[in-house]
Amino acid sequence: MADPSDRFYTHTHEWVQVSGEQATVGITQYAQEQLGDVVFVELPPAGKKVGKGEVLGTIESVKAVSELFTPVTGEVAGGNAALESHPELINRDPYGAGWVVKLKVAAGAADGLMDAAAYEKFVAEEGGH
């Protein structure tokens, strides 16, 4: 699956899509493949202020616990409530229905992040196979 070109990516395998003051954050196709079957998602409370790179939540598969780092500085507007009963949405549709958190951000929040092409190159080099 190609990584969508309408958003930006981190070295810790999150994506962020910015629309005006609102940023939507999730994990990438590569990240969900590496993690395996997601069975639990812990979301941050609305109103929480987070700085770029800080822990935004926790995503757990059957085997592993993985932290979600925020790609952008902002204030949590809300989490994807559907993940409470259907965490597998992250596996099925990581770029759509499996989004994790929405943040309120300032202009230029995503500056300096990778675009899809740069992220795919990064994954190809890191993944090795």
Partner 1 sequence: MSPTLKRTPLYECHVEAQGRIVAFAGWEMPVQFAGVIEEHRAVRTSVGLFDVSHMGELDVVGRRALDFIQHVTCNDVFKLTPGRAHYSGLMTPRGTFVDDLLVHKVADDHYFLVVNAANKDKDYAYLCAQAAGFDNVDVRDRSDDWAQIAVQGPRALSVAQKLTAVNLAEIKYYRFVRGAVDGADAIIARTGYTGEDGVEIYVPPADAPRVWRALLAAGRDEGIVPCGLGARDTLRFEACMALYGNDIDDTTTPFEANLDWIVKLEKGPFLGREALLRQRAEGVRRRLVGFEMVGRGIARHGYPIMAGSKEIGAVTSGTHSPTIGKALGLGYVPVALTAVGSEFAVEIRGQQVAARVVETPFYRRQRPA
- Exactly one of 12, 52, 60, 122 binds partner 1 (CB under 8 A); that residue is 60
Q: Does 62 bind partner 1 (CB under 8 A)?
A: yes
- Exactly one of 12, 21, 39, 48 binds partner 1 (CB under 8 A); that residue is 39
Q: How far is the CB of 60 from partner 1 (least distance, A)?
A: 5
Q: How far is the CB of 40 from partner 1 (least distance, A)?
A: 5
- Exactly one of 61, 66, 70, 80 binds partner 1 (CB under 8 A); that residue is 61
- Dihedrals φ, ψ of 84, to 5°? -60, -45
Tokens read off for 96: 């759509």
Q: Look up residue 87 and give its DSSP letter.
A: T
- Exactly one of 36, 47, 53, 96 binds partner 1 (CB under 8 A); that residue is 36
**Distance from chain centroid for Cα 13:** 7
Q: How far is the CB of 13 from partner 1 (least distance, A)?
A: 16
Task: Print the SS3 string covering 102-113.
Answer: EEECCCCCCCCC
Q: Residue 65 forms beta bridges with which residues?
A: 60
- Secondary structure class of 68 (helix, strand, coil): strand
Q: Does 42 bind partner 1 (CB under 8 A)?
A: yes
Q: Does 40 bind partner 1 (CB under 8 A)?
A: yes
Burial-class residue 95 by CB neighbours within 10 Å (0-12, 13-18, 19+): buried
Task: Catalog residues that contact partner 1 under the rule CB under 8 A.
Answer: 36-37, 39-40, 42, 58, 60-63, 65
